[in-house]
Amino acid sequence: MFSKIMPSKATLIKASKTLPLLAAGFMLMPQANALDIKQEQINACVQNVVTSKIADNATANKLCSCSIEVESKITKGQMWEAESYRVSGKDVSTLPSVQKYINDLKQCEQGLTLNPPQQPTQPPAKKAN
């Protein structure tokens, strides 16, 4: 749902090297009880960040906890405004609420050592006899 209202992937990649992975983590969140949704989002994000070798578990937890907190502050009105912009072909990244969102996510990365995303390594295939 958020992918429809967020700036284009190119804008997000320019804003931060980890934003696309965080967004993927949000979308892949498993079903959970209402009280556990925030923690489930953090867990999915941490798993995505660690699997992509962006950061270790402790750093990923800091990054994801902050990012999920930022995400939780988006209002329905902001989502509707961004969706209206997107549908009308306007640049969503020009909206003050989206600019604040991106800046807040950048703040989540401050002081953290983050690596460029890498594809998860797969074990070598076994040779057939």
- pLDDT per residue as tens digits for the range 55-70: 999 999 999 999 999 9
Token pair 């209202």 in the structure block, residue: 5
- To the nearest whole number, what is the mean pLDDT of the chain? 80
Pick the residue with more confidence: 124 or 55? 55
